Amino acid sequence: MSGKRIIAMSGGVGGAKLAEGLARNSNGTPLTLIVNTGDDFNHLGLHISPDIDTALYTLAGLANPETGWGRRDETWSFMQALEQLGGEAWFRLGDADLAMHVERTRRLAAGETLCDITADLASRLGILAQVLAMTDDQVRTRVGTDIGELDFQHYFVREQCRPQVSHIVFKGATAAQPAPQVIQALQSGEAEAIILCPSNPYLSIAPILAIPGMRELLRSAGVPVVAVSPLVGGAAVKGPTTKIMDELGLSVSALQIVEDYADLIDGFVLDSRDAHLRDRIDLPVAVTDTLMRTAHDRLRVANETLAFASSLYS
Ligand code: FO1
């Protein structure tokens, strides 16, 4: 392919894993990663951007290997002291991770954009990929549940995804614009493929696509758009994807995800444990083991996804 850049969209832990493999792709093609910021929230007076931080830490090799979020080799003195003082300790902030939130909050207050801050932090962490916030505007995922409409982190962490979900809204999305750097990347003509990483389509990719103009930007890039299934054997590798699909009345299957991505994607990467669904998908499908347990898995799935995308060039 003649392109000079891979563009990917991601949110959460699963997506970040593939992004890390894409960043190391064997063709050496540079990566631009567009990250969900709908999970952001203000907590303890800090602006926290979990999906950006999961992407940064994962790309920098700093992520906690057990949880996928936060940093490896963390210490927890701040949390212990906060708890002693009666502060809110349900959202675990390690001492080194805390520096990220303090510095991001300071720079936002100084008037910098989320995208500019993220780009600078990425380079300070030695990350070569371009990491972009989906927007510099405020978009907040709120989850309608049987105990009321909750901020995302309250649903996901404080309530541990237990409430029954009735609807999901992306507050502020209609008034938001794609970040200028996102528009530039998608209109640059440099892209050779666009990859929707195996993130939760309804919680992590949907907020990005909900921004007016984002779908058109993907389509007008004129390159194959490939989604990688977040389901393995009809189940989520991590997180509430299938629980939410069930509670939203969706069929809990990769077929539903293909349908929901329908007019946006040119191909779908299906996990080998779901290979029996292949003939019911009227799109080009690549079947492979999408489980990414090791760094080699991440690279393998990334290379296979890119090879599949390049096979879709008309
Ligand atoms: N997830 C949890 O389940 N429990 C936590 O205490 C927690 C803290 C946390 C701190 C920083 C950060 O960047 C992410 C954190 N996450 C935590 C994960 C986060 O809630 C999710 O990764 C995303 O918002 C959804 O993908």
Strand partners of residue 227: 196, 268
Domain region containing 262 = 5-138+177-238+253-311
Position 245 in a domain: no
Token pair belonging to 310: 């390049």
Question: Given the CA of residue 97, which atom of ligand 1 is nearest to it?
Answer: 11
Domain membership of residue 198 (yes or no) is yes
The ligand 1 atom at the shortest distance from the C-alpha of residue 200 is: 26
Cα gap 196→203, rounded to integer Å: 13
Cα-to-centroid distance, 305 and ligand 1 (Å): 27
The CA dihedral of 192, 278, 200, 57, to the nearest 10 degrees, is -50
**How far, in Å, is the centroid of ligand 1 from the Cα of 250?**
25
Q: Is the CB of 12 under 6 A from ligand 1?
A: yes
**CA atoms of 85 and 137, how far apart (whole Å):** 34
**Phi, then psi, of 257 in degrees rounded to 5:** -65, -40
Give me the CATH number covering residue 94. 3.40.50.10680
Give the Å distance between the CA of 34 and the centre of ligand 1. 19
| 129 domain-assigned | yes
Number of domains in the chain: 1
248 lies in some domain = no
pLDDT tens for each residue of the chain, 314 residues long: 456 999 999 999 999 999 999 999 999 999 999 999 999 999 999 999 999 999 999 999 999 999 999 999 999 999 999 999 999 999 999 999 999 999 999 999 999 999 999 999 999 999 999 999 999 999 999 999 999 999 999 999 999 999 999 999 999 999 999 999 999 999 999 999 999 999 999 999 999 999 999 999 999 999 999 999 999 999 998 899 999 999 999 999 999 999 999 899 999 999 999 999 999 999 999 999 999 999 999 999 999 999 999 999 87
How far is the C-alpha of 307 from the C-alpha of 26, rounded, in Å?
Answer: 10
Using a 6 Å cutoff on CB, does residue 93 contact ligand 1? Answer: yes
Dist CA 84 CA 67 (whole Å): 25
Report DSSP letters for 92-128, one per residue. ---HHHHHHHHHHHHHHHTT--HHHHHHHHHHHTT--
Residue 258 alpha carbon to ligand 1 centre in Å: 27
Contact 55, 33 (CB under 8 A): yes
Residue 167 inside a domain? The answer is no
In a domain, 153, yes or no: no
Contact 49 CB / ligand 1 (< 6 Å): no
Instruction: Enter the pTM of the model.
Output: 0.98
Domain assignment present for residue 84? The answer is yes
- Domain-embedded: residue 232: yes
Task: Work out which ligand 1 atom sits closest to the CA atom of 11.
Answer: 26
